[in-house]
Structure 1
Amino acid sequence: MGGIVDPYFQLPLWLQASCCGHVLWAYNVRHLDLLEAYVAAKLRERGELVPAAPTSLVERLPTWLKAAKNRTEVLRTIRRLRSTLPAGG
């Protein structure tokens, strides 16, 4: 696929799929949950930003994944990835 690997073990990630001309990937079900909640949100509010604070995971997501025009396809791909998880996932 896109060569997405775990940074520690250097093994390919199991949860990855082609989406909108890119590779959508997640480490685990909790990561899928976070991506799904963020992408599905119609209004994405920011908290008060502290200049010295590190950026959050969702702020660092790629633009294509955050784009409203890709919302339907990204959510469909997340559902497809979720369907590959063992029951109780």
Structure 2
Amino acid sequence: MLDPYFHEPLWLQTRTRHGRLWAYNPEHLDLLRQYVQATLREHDPWHEPWRKMGLFGRLPAWIKQANNRDAVLRGLDRMRASLAA
């Protein structure tokens, strides 16, 4: 995966059997972990199309699916471990 601005490979990336996970920095990694770990993701009672353009609205469907949660969390853990190495 390349950074869209600098066109350089991202350091924080790993493959899962479902696809490639990547993050820009440790804060992005933490945000993804919080989202994936959540067992209940509540939505606003009204539908606002602009909300689809946020960070989580743009995530691939396989990351959002509960049955892939363990695989995604393992991938995020691998990326976190690479920071400490």
TM-score band by shorter chain is 0.7 to 0.9
**1:36 alignment partner, one of 33, 47, 53:** 33
Q: What is aligned with 2:81?
A: 83
Deviation readout 1:24-52 (Å, 9 max, x if unpaired): 11111111111100000000012354345
* Aligned pairs (5 A) from 1:16-27: 16-27=13-24
| TM-score computed with the length of structure 1 as normaliser | 0.83
Q: What is aligned with 2:5?
A: 8
Task: Tell me, in whole angstroms, the C-alpha distance in 2 between the residues paired with 1:52 and 1:46.
Answer: 13
Q: CA deviation at 1:53?
A: 5.5
Equivalent pairs counted in the alignment come to 84
Cα 1:65/1:51, change in 2 over 3 Å: closer
Q: Report percent identity of matched pairs.
A: 50
Give 1:60's aligned amino acid: R
Give the CA RMSD over aligned residues: 1.8
Larger helix fraction of residues: 2
Task: Tell me, in whole angstroms, the C-alpha distance in 1 between the residues paired with 2:62 and 2:30.
Answer: 18
Structure 2 gap ranges (5+): none
State the secondary structure of the residue aligned to 1:85.
helix
**1:61 alignment partner, one of 42, 51, 59:** 59
Cα 1:67/1:52, change in 2 over 3 Å: closer
